[in-house]
Structure 1
């Protein structure tokens, strides 16, 4: 990051006046466009996503903060008067970033176009970036020099530290560290299209004012002094403070774009176990009388000891077609068990049954009836 030596008050006033004059010539108010079709123009949310993507690219390449802020400024100036299809947005963004790097960086630090296309994963070739770069320059009349919010942030910070240098000691930061903290907050503000309607000077002064309020006792007097030097309207500053504070307090400003949310289900109490074959009564319907319930289905008879474990299996049945089919299967299962162990006491003994042979119907078995063994 580039930092200059402390300037005199006259030098700072001259730089502020020059930056404000340049801003008045190039700045255009943001007007939200009507979305006629999803692919007709870039939406504000897509613009914010492109800015966050440029911020990640800027962090990987470790370039000057001026490069990123100027790239976002060129991008907004290009998108404001024309309609652009979203599929070309990343190519436009990386072309704006390449123009800003060649403007702000040293020659040996500017990445090559091939390297930039490979590291950014923009999905376009170096020749396509060059053609888009020419379109941007033609649309902006080859004038990339403008006063950005970072320029005003440097000037206002130098003025504040020159007047009240003691507040930095209270927070334990030097000038470079404190300015780096404000710069990172500025990155978050640039990725919010709701702040595009603010001039860069107003946005920078709002950031400085909100920071002074937390660490400087006489922040209000210092803010009024900066407001008077910048020749701004106090109502515009109050409104910008509210917008900036709301933007920085939203959770989406600190979350990466590939955030993964993990669902943790609630641990509900285990339902009471019911005997096998019973039906659960819905809560919104009264329970059936005992007599009526007995007409619909009969309770299974007691089972022997070696089948007692079958009653411990919970079965929850609801009044639906699928559950009724399951209920019929359970009844058939019980009928088979009862026939196997001859426990159906209510069934009549067929003709021809022997005392020890179980139920037997004459003519239905290929084997003859068993006869008792006689004495020899």
Structure 2
């Protein structure tokens, strides 16, 4: 849905009623399939991987958000009543994407089938995609115009802004387009989560939007109740949906991969006691089978102690105090080991030949040995 000018409240109510009516006609309750062999049916994880693949392709082609959301909707509608082998999944997904592009995009923006097959690396020829396209149309009764979660998200967003036009600038510092783009990116993430297939598009959009309202709008509850009334959605159903969506969005802040490396960079040179700095997070990615690994930065910062630390371990949540204690113990162990080595060298080196290392005097602040007066020969 593309907004050319601000919509009146009556117009928005009409659009919401029309979208809800269309959804009620097209929506079918999701029935989980019985577990089966990976070779005979597409698993939920494989479905999610295909949606993420379409999302990446959509980003490269820079098409309308409506194209991606409609493609995922067609994919789920097609897979729900049938069993398809995993080897056909990408062919099904790219055919849904091509149908969605021809439905939502301007004619000059629709990629050619040959270009789409080559750029997507789907492993299918244009003729195979065309045959799959015909199968999908037959299964969907040639009816592709359904109300998607993005349609409802646009309507709910416009409804709130029609009565709270300034809350974005005051609370978030974002304009209307930027805020809607942020919500759309979160919707993309939700679409790639099979646990949310059970939610209608209107419910998914309302749960996603009200979770955002709760963080940035003081009277979010009153706005949520008003949206519930206009959409004619039960409050208990919304509460359950919000929990599912919040759980899905929490994975956006998932921990880093197990082979993450931390490289500490101090802000300024200071004595080794309690310096604060930043950690740069890296992950090792192979260029190819014959070349060495390169470091690919994936970002982040955190406060820590003063020593340079490189760890090849999985990220675990820990308290800040425990983290600092670990740094202190590491530093103290190093100092103790070094001191013991020096003492041992001084003991085994023996007397007057000067072969032993002098031990640092107690109370001295410098690790260097004190100067000795020159002896007269």
Matches within 5 A, 1:339-358: none
Q: Between Structure 1 and Structure 2, how many residues are aligned?
A: 269
Residue in 1 aligned with 2:76? 76
Q: CA deviation at 1:255?
A: 8.2
Gaps of 5+ in 2: 261-281, 285-309, 314-329, 338-377
SS at match of 1:159: helix
Deviations along 1:80-102, whole A, 9 cap, x unmatched?
Answer: 00000000000000000000000
1:169 deviates by 1.4
Structure 2 residue matching 1:142: 3-state secondary structure: coil
Aligned counterparts of 2:255 and 2:74: Cα–Cα separation in 1: 24
Question: Which range is displaced more, 32-41 or 178-187?
Answer: 32-41
- Corresponding residue of 1:296: none
Matches within 5 A, 1:8-87: 8-87=8-87
Which has the larger Rg? 1
Structure 2-normalised TM-score?
0.68
For 1:6-49, what per-residue CA distance to the aligned partner results, in whole angstroms no more than 9, with x for missing partners?
11111111110010000011111222211221111000000000
| Cα separation, 1, equivalents of 2:3 and 2:51 | 24
Partners of 1:44 and 1:264 in 2: CA distance: 34
1:85 and 1:35 map into 2 onto residues whose CA distance is 14
**What displacement does 1:167 show?**
1.0
Against the structure 1 CA distance between its residues 240 and 84, is the aligned structure 2 distance closer, same or farther, given a 3 Å change threshold?
same
Instruction: Tell me whether 261-270 or 77-86 shows the greater mean CA deviation.
Output: 261-270
Q: Specify which structure has the bigger relative contact order, considering alpha-carbon pairs within 8 angstroms and separated by 6 or more residues.
A: 1
Gap regions ≥5 residues in structure 1: 273-376
Correspondences of 1:328-347 after superposition (within 5 Å): none
Q: TM-score, normalised by structure 1?
A: 0.68
Contact kept, 8 Å, 1:247 with 1:253, in 2: the verdict is no
> What are the equivalent positions in structure 2 for 1:159-308 lying under 5 Å apart?
159-170=159-170, 171-251=172-252, 264-265=311-312
Q: Going by fraction, where is strand more abundant, 1 or 2? A: 2
SS in 1 for 2:207: helix
Contact 1:20 1:147 in 2 (8 A): yes
Counterparts of residues 91-110 of structure 1 (less than 5 Å) = 91-110=91-110
What is the CA–CA distance in structure 1 between the aligned matches of 2:248 and 2:128, rounded to whole Å? 35
1:54 and 1:94 in contact (8 A); partners too: yes
CA offsets per residue over residues 300-342 of structure 1, 9 Å max, x none?
xxxxxxxxxxxxxxxxxxxxxxxxxxxxxxxxxxxxxxxxxxx
Aligned to 1:250, the other structure's residue is in SS state helix
> What is the distance in 2 between the residues matched to 1:238 and 1:173?
27
Q: Cα 1:78–1:247, aligned 2, differ >3 Å: closer, same or farther?
A: same
CA RMSD of aligned residues (A): 2.3
Cα separation, 2, equivalents of 1:207 and 1:255 = 25
TM-superposition CA deviations, 1:249-305 (whole Å, max 9, x none): 11477989xx995593589989x9xxxxxxxxxxxxxxxxxxxxxxxxxxxxxxxxx
